[in-house]
């Protein structure tokens, strides 16, 4: 009765330590703070080492205190194995994997009476690689996950068998609590992944325009502030182009909103494609109903290049062809305004306000035009 009491209480307290480790490990792995990002491999490796060493010494002291009659140390073996499995689930930085390999090499080498430990460790290396490489597939199916977990534990069990020949292992308890532990981390891991997926979805919904899949105005505003800060700090000049689809309301009225949506989607897709071929780093946004904007970073202040880019984007978008349900085809034109950031700008919105003013200049002068730095061109 005492033996089972010790086993169960040890299992419960160690499970609490394991779950705490899992949450702290995941928090470190996903936190975006600069200092944590910089030292993430070190922190993750140190945390895993600390928990593994804690379980190891708890195991040694437990066996010494119990004088080895019932294999109390094996109560900790499963926890050590599960810590390693959890550490590899989310494909951490490779330095973390290497640090775990170093610790396991020391452990295998240290194990008493395990003279041929290299082949055993090789088994661990192989299963670690498989878990690191195929964690998503292993996690997705219980019929793969549980057999793999027992396969992963096998080298550790073999090493302990050689090392502790006279210990009563309590195999039914050992295998049963391992099944419980692997179930716990499977549940924790799946819940954490669902949480991350929900957070990613919320971020996407908050930053990506659903119809066009371009960045929305919120992201545009943040990026514009960041560009302005770089201009003030480093003198890095950027250019801003903004344009409207001409007579877009007429398209909606004549052909319907579904066709209008097709137009917006096609324009956004083509703009994103063009952005990949422009000579500067380019980010594209939907900043209004039929208004789109793109920012070119770290540009050379050349008027001819600015005009060339504006004309190229305008001409490419006007090549798009659309077909209505009645079989009628049509194309679009756009009106565009452009300006670059200036060192004397007092606010991050100054360049956008100028480009927007030039856009309305193009619209007010008959549309189907571009106005670059205040100069209107057809």
Distance CA 153, CA 92 (A): 20
| Structural contact between residues 216 and 207, judged by C-beta atoms closer than 8 angstroms | yes
Higher pLDDT pick, 315 / 71: 315
| Structural contact between residues 208 and 201, judged by C-beta atoms closer than 8 angstroms | no
**Which residue in 317, 329, 218, 219 sits closest to 268, CA to CA?**
317
Residue 160 sits in the same domain as residue 37 = yes
Residue 230 sits in the same domain as residue 332 = yes
Residue 273 sits in the same domain as residue 143 = no
Residue 277 sits in the same domain as residue 130 = no
**Which residue in 192, 85, 100 sits closest to 149, CA to CA?**
85
Last residue of a domain, one of 206, 236, 270: 206
The CATH number of residue 235's host domain is: 3.30.70.270
The mean predicted confidence, pLDDT, of the chain is 87
Residue 183 sits in the same domain as residue 320 = no
| Structural contact between residues 40 and 77, judged by C-beta atoms closer than 8 angstroms | no
Answer whether residue 96 shows pLDDT above 50.
Answer: yes
Residue 278 is part of which domain span? 217-377
Residue 177 sits in the same domain as residue 282 = no
For 105, residues 6+ apart whose C-beta sits below 8 A from its C-beta are: 121
Per residue in 211-259, pLDDT tens? 999 999 999 999 999 999 988 888 889 999 999 999 999 999 888 889 9
Residue 200 lies in a domain: yes
| Structural contact between residues 88 and 135, judged by C-beta atoms closer than 8 angstroms | yes
Answer whether residue 13 shows pLDDT above 90.
Answer: no
Residue 273 lies in a domain: yes
E strand or H helix at 118: helix 117-140
Residue 35 sits in the same domain as residue 178 = yes
E strand or H helix at 225: helix 217-234
Distance CA 284, CA 300 (A): 19
Residue 242 sits in the same domain as residue 333 = yes
Residue 191 sits in the same domain as residue 118 = yes
Per residue in 247-280, pLDDT tens? 999 999 888 889 999 999 999 999 999 998 888 8
Per residue in 157-194, pLDDT tens? 888 888 876 555 577 878 888 999 999 889 888 888 88
Residue 171 lies in a domain: yes
- What's the rounded mean pLDDT across residues 16-25? 88
**Which residue in 75, 58, 103 sits closest to 160, CA to CA?**
75
Distance CA 130, CA 296 (A): 43
What pLDDT is stored for residue 74 in this prediction?
64
Answer whether residue 119 shows pLDDT above 60.
Answer: yes
Higher pLDDT pick, 63 / 297: 297
Which segments of 282-335 does DSSP mark as H helices, in order?
A: 303-318
Distance CA 23, CA 28 (A): 9
Residue 212 lies in a domain: no
What confidence tier does 3 reach under pLDDT thresholds 50, 70, 90? Answer: low
Residue 139 sits in the same domain as residue 81 = yes
Residue 114 lies in a domain: yes
Residue 185 sits in the same domain as residue 51 = yes
Residue 279 sits in the same domain as residue 317 = yes
Residue 211 lies in a domain: no
**Catalytic machinery residues:** 290
Answer whether residue 70 shows pLDDT above 50.
Answer: no
Last residue of a domain, one of 177, 206, 235: 206
Last residue of a domain, one of 165, 182, 206: 206
Structurally, how many domains does the chain consist of? 2
Neighbours of 360 (CB within 10 A): 13
Distance CA 76, CA 73 (A): 6
Whether the predicted model's global pTM rises above the 0.85 cut: no
**In whole angstroms, how large is the CA radius of gyration of the chain?**
31
What pLDDT is stored for residue 27 in this prediction?
87
**Which residue in 78, 72, 73, 18 sits closest to 48, CA to CA?**
18
């Amino acid at each position: 009765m005492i033996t089972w009491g010790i086993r169960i209480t040890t299992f419960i307290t160690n499970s609490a330590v394991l779950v705490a480790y899992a949450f702290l490990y995941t928090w470190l792995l996903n936190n975006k703070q600069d200092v944590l990002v910089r030292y993430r491999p070190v922190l993750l490796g140190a945390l895993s080492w600390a928990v593994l060493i804690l379980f190891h010494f708890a195991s040694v002291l437990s066996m010494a205190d119990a004088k080895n009659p019932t294999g109390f140390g094996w109560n900790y073996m499963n926890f050590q194995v599960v810590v390693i499995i959890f550490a590899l689930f989310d494909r951490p930085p490779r330095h973390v994997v290497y640090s775990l390999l170093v610790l396991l090499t020391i452990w295998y080498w240290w194990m008493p009476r395990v003279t041929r430990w290299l082949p055993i460790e090789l088994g661990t290396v192989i299963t670690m690689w498989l878990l690191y490489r195929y964690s998503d597939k292993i996690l997705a199916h219980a019929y793969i996950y549980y057999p793999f977990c027992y396969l992963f534990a096998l080298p550790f069990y073999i090493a302990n068998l050689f090392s502790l020949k006279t210990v009563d292992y309590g195999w039914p308890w050992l295998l049963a609590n391992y099944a419980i532990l692997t179930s716990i981390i499977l549940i924790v891991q799946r819940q954490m992944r669902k949480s991350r997926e929900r957070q990613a979805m919320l971020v996407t919904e908050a930053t990506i325009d659903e119809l066009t899949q371009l960045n929305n105005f919120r992201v545009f505003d943040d990026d514009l502030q960041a560009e302005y800060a770089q201009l003030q700090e480093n003198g890095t000049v950027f250019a801003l182009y903004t344009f409207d689809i001409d007579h877009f309301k007429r398209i909606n009225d004549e052909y319907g909103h579904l066709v209008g949506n097709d137009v917006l989607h096609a324009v956004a897709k083509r703009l994103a494609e063009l952005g990949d071929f422009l000579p500067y780093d380019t980010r594209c946004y939907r900043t209004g109903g039929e208004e789109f904007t793109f920012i070119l970073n770290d540009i050379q202040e050349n008027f001819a290049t600015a005009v060339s880019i504006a004309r190229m984007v305008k001409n490419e978008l006007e090549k798009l062809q659309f077909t209505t349900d009645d079989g009628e085809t049509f194309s679009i034109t756009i009106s565009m305004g452009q300006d670059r950031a200036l060192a004397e700008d007092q606010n991050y919105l100054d360049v956008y306000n100028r480009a927007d003013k030039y856009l309305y200049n193009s619209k007010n002068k008959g549309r189907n035009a571009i106005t670059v730095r205040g100069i209107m061109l057809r």
